[in-house]
Structure formats: C-alpha cells, structure tokens
Structure 1
Amino acid sequence: MNLKRRCAAAAAVLAVAATGLVCVQATAEATQPAPATGSRAGKCPTLTVSPGWYGDNRARLQKMIDTYGRCGDGSHQGAAKPVAAFDWDNTVIKNDVGDATMFWLLRNSKIRTPRGADWHSTSRYLTDPAAKALAKACPATGATLPTRRDTDCADEIASVYSEGTTTGGDAAFAGIDHRRMEPQYAWLAQLTRGWSTRQVKGFAAAARKENLAAPVGTEQQVGTGKFTGWVRYYDQQRDLIRTLGKAGFDVYVVSASPEPVAEVWAKSVGVDARHTIGIRNVTAHGKLTARLAGCGTVKDGDDSMITYIDGKRCWINQEVYGVRGAAAEKVQPAHKRQVFAAGDSDTDISFLRDATALRLVLNRNKNELMCRAYDNGDGRWLVNPMFIEPKGRLAKPYPCASTGYTERDGKEGPVRRTDGSVIPDQKDTVHGS
C-alpha cells in the first residue's frame, strides 16, 4: 500500500499515531493527530439510537466522542471545548423550517408591504421583471399584504421564493456571488422587516406546531399552489447532539434560515440561541430591517454574504472563534476549527471541509458535496442515507470532473481538490433502498 493510501486509511480510524506514519496535508481538510482514547472511554456518554445509521458510521461517531469528549485523555489543542457544528434543514430535521415559516407567513397575511411599495427595497438582487411582477400582483393596500385571500399575490411571492423566478418565468434575482449568497433564502429574512425578533419567533413557533402535527406527506395550499406541509426531527440527530453535549462538546447550529426561526427549532434539541447562527437582520428601533448583518470584510447592510457555502465558514470563524475581518473568510489553523460537522447540501461544503475529525453527510444527491464526500481524500467523511424517506441510488455517477462545482459567477465546472487535481466522477454507493 503506498504512503498516500496508508495515511488515508490511518485517518479513517482516527489512529494516525498508531501507524508510525507522518502524514502532512497543507489543505483545508488537513487534520491534527487525534488525541488518544484513555481508559475512561467506557464512561463516556453513549449514542443510544442505532437504526438508520449506515455501516460503521455510528461506531466511528462514538469513537470520536470517546476520543475528544471530556472523558478522553487528550484535549483539542488548547480549545476550551471541542466544537461540533450542524447544518439544520434536512440535516437535523426532515424538510425545511424556512419554507415552513414562509408558507405560514403567506397563509396568515404577515408579510408587510415593501417600503414605498418598491419591491427593490426588499432585496438589492431582485431583478426589474421580478419587482414589476410583484408590484402588479401585490398592490399596496395596507400595512400587510392580504396573501391569505389574494392568491395572485401569494402565488407571485411563493414563485420568487421557491423557484427563483416570477410566475411568468423571468429570473427573479441576479448579480450574486454564488459561493456566498442564496438570495431566495435571504429574501425570507428580508421579508420579515417591520416585525420584532420576538414576533418573528412567534410566527416560527406557530409554523413549527402546525408542521410537527401534520402527518408525514402532508401538503399545504399556499395561494393556488401545493407545498410541503410537514417537518420531523431526526431521532438519530437528536441523540447525537445530546450525546455530544453530555460529552463536553460545544454544539452549534449554523443555518441558512433566518436566525430567529432557527432558534425556535433548535431549542428543542438542546441548542440555545447563543449557539444558533442563521441569517441575521440588521435591527432599527427594535424592529428587523430588510438589511442583513455582515461577516468578515462584508459590512452590515451590504447584504452580500449569508450563512451559505463560504459564508458559513466566515460566520463560524467569527461567532464561534472570534476571528474578525478578512481572516474570518479564510481557513483557520486546526485548533481554531470544529472537530465535527454535519450537513446535507452544497451550502455546507466549506464548514464541512474545515472539520478536523469527522464530517457527516446526509445524501440528498447534491453534486459537489457528494463528490467530495465519496472522494474522501483523508478518510474522514461519513456518508449516510437520510433517516426519513432516503433517496434511492443516483442512476448516473456524480459529474465531479465536469459540472459538479458552482463558480462564484454561477457557471459550472469540475470539482477540484485543494491541490488543484480534479475529482473523478463518483458512483452513488450509500443510499436508500
């Protein structure tokens, strides 16, 4: 076995030291040697939910907990606590709490009329055709839009949010950095303008109650359309978060949903508001505005970076590790990175790659994420089918060598490793039946 393969194999079991090899990777996925697991490992908090885990994923997660947790003999190179970071939508829960909240707002007429009836004021990336379509469908008739009964207005907003196009098929957003911003996600946060954080949490709580009570498979009507109307927590992820917390990990949720919304949902798995990071509005006079808080070199109100792909890295560096300015946008030394990360989508790529011990991926057939996870260059990627309604095997290999990567300008290209080499197309091997 050559040196590269031996290093990868050693990393896969978190036992580099035992191999007698020295494996150095000056990359975003470089990892420090794992602390040795001591005799106290048997007293470590233990994962209790077994069904749903693929292969040896549960065992490897438990070994990580035993190694890095409070009962292990080692420490995470100076960090007060090892950090575990979770994406939220379709990672800790099935379906999307941002969607649940948006559809609740529309069904209950809780979206305020844009300032000056100008829809451009809701997003600097909104195109002229979209602004005109929204103005036509949603004439200003009061403080809030009557989307509960006005199906034309509800349909137009739902289309711009869900599809990124008007009901007439025109592109709704343009001019973004595709590695930092998803304007549809941001738009939900921006449409909460005029409400207080407390009020938005109330809306999210009402949507949460409805979606948890709805039977699996429920569709809800919004305007004239039908949309997913149910959400469920994953028992396996609840268990993992609980066990990590008991073992002394600092557990964070990093979501591309509005922060007040994510806080309402994360509370039920034991993650408090201080450990929940989402899209954050700038506030004025106690109310949310349509402007967004910035990170790194992005100033508040610039609205060009949210908790999305590279933005998630920035927000973790800034909010968890206190890194400011341009440095927050860059990969940090190993002792200033999360030990563990979990995600399900290309939006999670950067903060997953930064994790130094293990990276859990729920397979939703997302090209770049699955290319990197299956390539598994350092042996620390874990792929698991979704715990509820897992997707079946993708019929064709992931197009890693051609179109798996989304460039900043939105163009597609090959997925490259940190050394510049192209990841070959990958077969889908971990999936539902």
Structure 2
Amino acid sequence: MRQLLAWTLAAAAVLAAAPAAQPVGRGACPRLATAWYGDNRAHLQRAIDARGTCAGRPGRLRPVAVFDWDNTVVKNDVTDATLAWALRHDRLLRPARWKDTSAWLTAAADRALTRACGSGPVGAPLPTSRNARCTDEILALRERGTTMSGAPAFAGTFDHRRTVPQYAWVPQLFTGRTPADLASYAAAARREALAAPVGATRRVGTHTLPAYVRYYDQQRDLIRTLRRAGFDVYIVSAGSEPITEVWSRGVGVDAAHTIAIRSVLDRHGRITPWTEGCGGVPATRGAVIPYIDGKRCWINQDVYGVRGPAAWQRQPWPHRPALAGGDADTDVTFVADATAVHLVINRNKPELMCRAYDDADGHWLVNPMFLEPLPRRSTPYPCATNAYTAPDGTRGPVRREDGSVVPDQRDTVY
C-alpha cells in the first residue's frame, strides 16, 4: 500500500531524532554485499543501520528510499528500448493528425512526420519496420527534439521543471493501445535487451541505438538490502509507467511502488494523449510529468499523501525520503530532498553534479556508472553561471538553500 500522510506528533518526534541515532552493532541490519566506488558502501551501510527498522528501536516508522530508473538502477533507457522494439514490429497506430499527439508539436514536425509516414487508415499500424524515413523522424523527435532536417519539433510555453515535451511524447505515441499492450511490448523488449551482450547496438531506421540493458548488481543489492532493513522502496521515472513496471519487478519493486508517466485511458481502456496530473494540476497533454520538480510532486502525493499545490513544495523532514538516487538533472529535486543519502550516478549532468560535488549537507555520494563509465569531464561544471534550468527555460546559476551561488565544480569521480 502507498504510504499515507498519517504521521502523529509522537512518530514525528521519533523520526526527527533519527539522524542523531547511534549506529547499531554489526549484524543487527542486513549488510551490502557488492563493491562500490571509494567508501560509498560504508556511507550507505551507515544510513541503513541508522534509519532501518531492522535496528529494532521501538516506535520507528518505515523509512522511504526512492530511485530513478533509467541509468540509475539499470544501464540504458527501457522506454527507448520499448519504443525501438515497437518501431521494429509495427506497433504504433496512425494518428488522424500528428499534431494531435502533442500539444507542442511544431508545424515543421507535423509536416515531416506526415511526409515520412505517408497516409493510410487512421488507427492502422504504421509500417515502421519497412519505412525507415518514418522511423527516423520519430526517433529524431524523441532523441533530439528536432526533425531529421534539424527543425525544432516542439515549441510553446511550458514549465521546464515540470515536463519536457519529447519525454511526454513517447506514451502519447501509443495512443489507441492498452496498458497491457504496452507492457507486453516492454516484456518482449526486455527479453531481447537482457540477452544482448554488453555494448551491443542495433540499427533502427538509420539510427544506431543501444541494443542491451543491464540491471546494475550494486543497485539490485542496495534495493534488496534496503527492503530487508525495513525501507519502503519506490521507483520514480520520467518514462512510461506500464513499461517501467515491467522492469521494476526485476528488483522486487511492485506496481504500487512504481511511479512514472500515467496515461489517461478512454472508456475502452485505451491510452490517450492525456496524462494524469499532480499537485492540484488536472490531466493535461503532458504539461506535468515526473520530471525534475514533478518527481518531488509525485513522491509527495503518492508516497506521503500530500494533496494540492503543497505537493510541489519541499516537505518537513519526516515526510521526505531517507535515501534518494538518480543520474540526471531530471532527478535533482527529489534527490536533494533526501535526508540521509543523496546518491548520484555520474553521467556528467550539470545541475545534479554541481549539487553533488558542492555537498552542502555532507550527505551527497557520487559514484561512477557501474558499466561503461564516462571519462572525466575536461572542464568544470558551470555551476556559477548556467547549470540551472529555470521554469521558463532560461539558464542561471545553481544556488544553495540560503541563496548563495554554488561555485564551478571539477569532475573528480569518474
């Protein structure tokens, strides 16, 4: 069951005292078994020992841990793997108008998709396995936010800390299918991706895409250990929820603990271009998804029961995750909300890495990617000038809670 906002004053007092709790003796809580960078495993173990219900301290409520999915718990993107599988097997249905698929699709993108994908009966499968031009335009919009010719594919006004149109567009492409259909495509893509060797690529249209996905052994072990230690573990992703649910079962996280983009269904149970809202925002065509501040909103709403506009705000200490992990700027808000460990997988994403290396509260842990880690960034992250993305899309300095500017940070964990 999702954890509700039903904290009593006494329970809050117990939780508020938790950070100062003395570490329990060795053996009282389950131990992490896999190797991590530097002393990260020791830091994680101390948090498990201090916060887990395994320590047996009376009155302790179950702590929460939250992880992003793609490139945090697994290597590569499972929504992209599913989309690639669907394109290779003609599983997308032809829309009446491509403009119907996104509120921000430009006229240039509409023309490019119409030309490349041709005409045919509305609702019939698009022959993307045979039509490389159509497949290429779809993948270009998803990957770069442009047409194959480089024209902007999405434009208009939206909150850049609540959505990105090309992320919201993927579940919208499956309009007319059911969540069960989408889950079956994800399961087929999962079988292929886990069977493919590490480093394998695949040609889809004329694009070269990763052909493999791997669960990270360290994250699998961490999630298993957290659950055994009494943590409620959640996944929060800017991917499509039916797809993420298929994969999250592989680390023991069920659908009730998996949060991602939720499509609104029509009366026949089929996916529509509309997505569920959060924090008092009603259903929209993708204006609010679990993306940057949206991830905080869905955690506050679904995990802690916070309703209305308050779900967009940082909550008091007892109503925040103890541990949060991510790899990209889309994760920065909820990872920063954690009270014991901010776990960052280094993919050179500027705002997240600025906060991680600044380590304002002493609880940030940076770990290289467990497979195919990136080389060291050659120049400092531009924290003091333009690493932060404002709601209107402009760039600015990353600031601490007190308003001070984070200085530029060098990449030291790679």
Q: Fold conserved (TM > 0.5)?
A: yes
| CA RMSD between the two structures | 1.5
TM superposition shift of 1:39: 4.8
Task: Determine if the alignment matches structure 1 residue 382 to structure 2 residue 392.
Answer: no
Which of 257, 260, 276 in structure 2 is aligned with 1:293? 276
TM superposition shift of 1:160: 0.8
> Residue 63 of structure 2 contacts residue 230 of structure 2 at CA under 8 Å; is this kept in 1?
yes
Report the equivalent of 2:404: 421
How many angstroms apart in 2 are the aligned matches of 1:139 and 1:37?
Answer: 66
Task: Determine if the alignment matches structure 1 residue 202 to structure 2 residue 187.
Answer: no
Which residue identity does 2:45 align to in structure 1? Q
SS in 1 for 2:129: coil
- Mapping for residues 209-288 of structure 1, pairs under 5 Å: 209-284=191-266, 285-288=268-271
Report the equivalent of 1:135: 114
> Residue 41 of structure 1 contacts residue 71 of structure 1 at CA under 8 Å; is this kept in 2?
no
How many angstroms apart in 2 are the aligned matches of 1:130 and 1:79?
Answer: 54
TM superposition shift of 1:188: 0.7
Structure 2's unaligned 5+ residue stretches are 1-15
TM superposition shift of 1:302: 4.8
Which of 65, 88, 103 in structure 2 is aligned with 1:124? 103
How many angstroms apart in 1 are the aligned matches of 2:34 and 2:305?
Answer: 34
- Mapping for residues 38-49 of structure 1, pairs under 5 Å: 39=24, 41-49=26-34
Which of 82, 85, 90 in structure 2 is aligned with 1:109? 90
1:72-124 deviations in Å (ceiling 9; x for gaps):
2557xx8741000000000000111011011111111111111x2x1111110
Which residue identity does 2:195 align to in structure 1? A
1:106-158 deviations in Å (ceiling 9; x for gaps):
111111111x2x11111101111111111111123231110000111111111
TM superposition shift of 1:300: 1.3
Which residue identity does 1:131 align to in structure 2? D
Q: Does the C-alpha gap of structure 1 residues 327 and 386 become closer, same or farther in structure 2, counting only changes over 3 Å?
A: same
Report the equivalent of 1:157: 138
1:302-333 deviations in Å (ceiling 9; x for gaps):
52110100000000001101111101111111
* Larger displacement relative to structure 2 (369-378 or 171-180): 171-180
Which residue identity does 2:210 align to in structure 1? T
Report the equivalent of 1:182: 164
> Residue 94 of structure 1 contacts residue 232 of structure 1 at CA under 8 Å; is this kept in 2?
yes
How many angstroms apart in 1 are the aligned matches of 2:26 and 2:230?
Answer: 13
> Residue 36 of structure 1 contacts residue 74 of structure 1 at CA under 8 Å; is this kept in 2?
no
> Residue 367 of structure 1 contacts residue 400 of structure 1 at CA under 8 Å; is this kept in 2?
yes
How many angstroms apart in 1 are the aligned matches of 2:357 and 2:109?
Answer: 39
How many angstroms apart in 1 are the aligned matches of 2:232 and 2:142?
Answer: 33
Report the equivalent of 1:173: 154
Report the equivalent of 1:15: none
> Residue 102 of structure 2 contacts residue 273 of structure 2 at CA under 8 Å; is this kept in 1?
yes
* Larger displacement relative to structure 2 (225-234 or 243-252): 225-234
Which residue identity does 2:115 align to in structure 1? K
How many angstroms apart in 1 are the aligned matches of 2:17 and 2:236?
Answer: 23
Which of 305, 323, 327 in structure 1 is aligned with 2:310? 327
SS in 2 for 1:410: coil
> Residue 18 of structure 2 contacts residue 51 of structure 2 at CA under 8 Å; is this kept in 1?
no
Report the equivalent of 1:26: none
* Larger displacement relative to structure 2 (130-139 or 357-366): 130-139
Equivalent pairs counted in the alignment come to 395
SS in 2 for 1:42: coil
Which residue identity does 1:280 align to in structure 2? R
How many angstroms apart in 2 are the aligned matches of 1:275 and 1:102?
Answer: 23
- Mapping for residues 396-407 of structure 1, pairs under 5 Å: 396-407=379-390
> Residue 53 of structure 2 contacts residue 60 of structure 2 at CA under 8 Å; is this kept in 1?
no
> Residue 24 of structure 2 contacts residue 49 of structure 2 at CA under 8 Å; is this kept in 1?
no
Report the equivalent of 1:4: none
Report the equivalent of 2:4: none
Task: Determine if the alignment matches structure 1 residue 144 to structure 2 residue 125.
Answer: yes
Which of 368, 387, 407 in structure 1 is aligned with 2:351? 368
Q: Does the C-alpha gap of structure 1 residues 104 and 387 become closer, same or farther in structure 2, counting only changes over 3 Å?
A: same
> Residue 41 of structure 1 contacts residue 72 of structure 1 at CA under 8 Å; is this kept in 2?
no
Q: TM-score if structure 2 supplies the norm length?
A: 0.93
How many angstroms apart in 1 are the aligned matches of 2:89 and 2:378?
Answer: 41
TM superposition shift of 1:33: 5.2
Which residue identity does 1:109 align to in structure 2? D
TM superposition shift of 1:275: 0.3
Which residue identity does 1:134 align to in structure 2? L
Which residue identity does 2:237 align to in structure 1? S
Percent of aligned pairs sharing the same letter? 57
> Residue 102 of structure 2 contacts residue 285 of structure 2 at CA under 8 Å; is this kept in 1?
no
Which of 333, 341, 351 in structure 2 is aligned with 1:358? 341
SS in 1 for 2:401: coil
Q: Does the C-alpha gap of structure 1 residues 47 and 159 become closer, same or farther in structure 2, counting only changes over 3 Å?
A: same
Q: Does the C-alpha gap of structure 1 residues 164 and 32 become closer, same or farther in structure 2, counting only changes over 3 Å?
A: farther
